[in-house]
Amino acid sequence: MFLSALGYVGVRAKEIDDWSGYGTKLLGLQIADKSSNTLAMRMDDRKQRIMVDADGGQGIGFFGWEVADAAALETIAARLEAAGVPVARGARALADQRMVKDLITLKDPAGNRLEIFHGAEVTGEPFVPGRNISGFRTGMLGLGHVVLQVSKVTDELVNFYKDTLGFGVSDFYYQPFTAFFFHVNLRHHSFALIQSDKDAVHHMMLEMYSLDDVGQGYDLAQLEEGRLAVTLGRHAGDYMTSFYTWTPSGFMVESGWGGQVIDPKTWVVNQRKEGPSLWGHDRSWLPPDVRAKARQTTLKAAEDGYRRPVQVIEGNYNLMPGVCPWWDGMKKAGAA
């Protein structure tokens, strides 16, 4: 793989104050810098991860994908040019604005602006969350993931990310809507495409270290009229327990916990028949007929006894005494 992580995103907005309140009080981000029409937010030791520009627009204006070093940047630039993809070298002023050593810019077949960079600046100052949370799971996994909705998931678009940029396909499904998920590191997916009735960013996911951080955020989201976009649920692909809220910029942020990590070297691509979620995740944004189909997939998963172990890291769980017939049965079936 040529890219190592999703490093940053640039959000378009109408009002900075809307984002500063939403980003800190609900998501738990830290304001790193703020002016009358720009906002930079931290979520770890990076000087900035999310940049907001009050240019009067909506959605995400650019996606920053990270590579290891200058040599890796030159390699991916040459690969893109050989594939006939127009590439521009980012000016020194732009690199300084992004707080990186160097970058290139390009567009995907759907017209989305991509920036590929290396050498993000870090700070020794501790991350101070906007609300009392345990922190975000980033590091080698990157910022989180982003999902684009497109009017049609074409072979051209899939092949651009898979073959030209070198993303690995994690899995895909066709019901209740078409979706393809891609990885660039151990995170189950850092990027996804879903078929919808429009071309725009769908959501960005931020993963927290504690399930309680997610639950407390869910409580806060329900206090605001119209803020909640997708109810609490658990995904069938990356096993993330999460909910979604509407941002001030017309897309959603998924706040999650317990995402699956994979081994890209041995991972086998599969078509997920069970759909997007094991339970929950009632999606208010879906058309009524597709929303009904989505509900049916979760009910079918329950009927079929579809369950998966929770994904935890060392120190983030207590082992209970006793037996678990379901898990014992899973282990026996795997050993057979």
Q: Is the pLDDT of residue 287 over 90?
A: no
pLDDT of residue 21: 96
For all residues of the chain together, what is the average pLDDT?
95
* DSSP strand pairing (252-257 vs 241-246): antiparallel
**320-333 burial: b if 16+ Cβ within 10 Å, else e:** eeeeeeeeeeeeee
Q: What is the tens place of the pLDDT at every residue in 199-216?
A: 999 999 999 999 999 999
Is 111 strand, coil or helix? coil
pLDDT of residue 335: 77
Q: Is the pLDDT of residue 161 over 90?
A: yes
Segment 286-290 shows an average pLDDT of: 86
- pLDDT band for position 19 (50/70/90)? very high
Query: 287: cis peptide before it, omega within 30°?
Result: no
Rounded Cα gap, residues 255 and 244, in angstroms: 6
- pLDDT band for position 179 (50/70/90)? very high
Range name among 104-108, 132-136, 284-288 with the lowest pLDDT average: 284-288
The C-alpha angle with vertex 236 and arms to 216 and 225, in degrees rounded to 5, equals 35
Q: Is the pLDDT of residue 98 over 80?
A: yes
Is 162 strand, coil or helix? helix
Rounded Cα gap, residues 46 and 33, in angstroms: 13
Q: Is the pLDDT of residue 108 over 90?
A: yes
**Closest Cα partner for 62 from 19, 108, 24, 122?**
108
- pLDDT band for position 268 (50/70/90)? very high
Segment 65-74 shows an average pLDDT of: 97
Percent of all residues in the chain with a pLDDT value above 70, rounded to a whole number: 100
Q: Is the pLDDT of residue 156 over 80?
A: yes
pLDDT of residue 252: 97
pLDDT of residue 261: 97
> H or E stretch including 168?
strand 168-173
Q: What is the tens place of the pLDDT at every residue in 204-253?
A: 999 999 999 999 999 999 999 999 999 999 999 999 999 999 999 999 99
pLDDT of residue 326: 86
Number of helical (H) and strand (E) elements in the chain, helices listed first = 7, 18
pTM of the prediction? 0.95
Range name among 167-181, 216-230, 251-265, 321-335 with the lowest pLDDT average: 321-335
| Contact indicator for 157, 199 with CB cutoff of 8 Å | no
pLDDT of residue 73: 98
* DSSP strand pairing (252-257 vs 200-208): parallel
pLDDT of residue 203: 97
**257-268 burial: b if 16+ Cβ within 10 Å, else e:** bbbbbbeeeeee
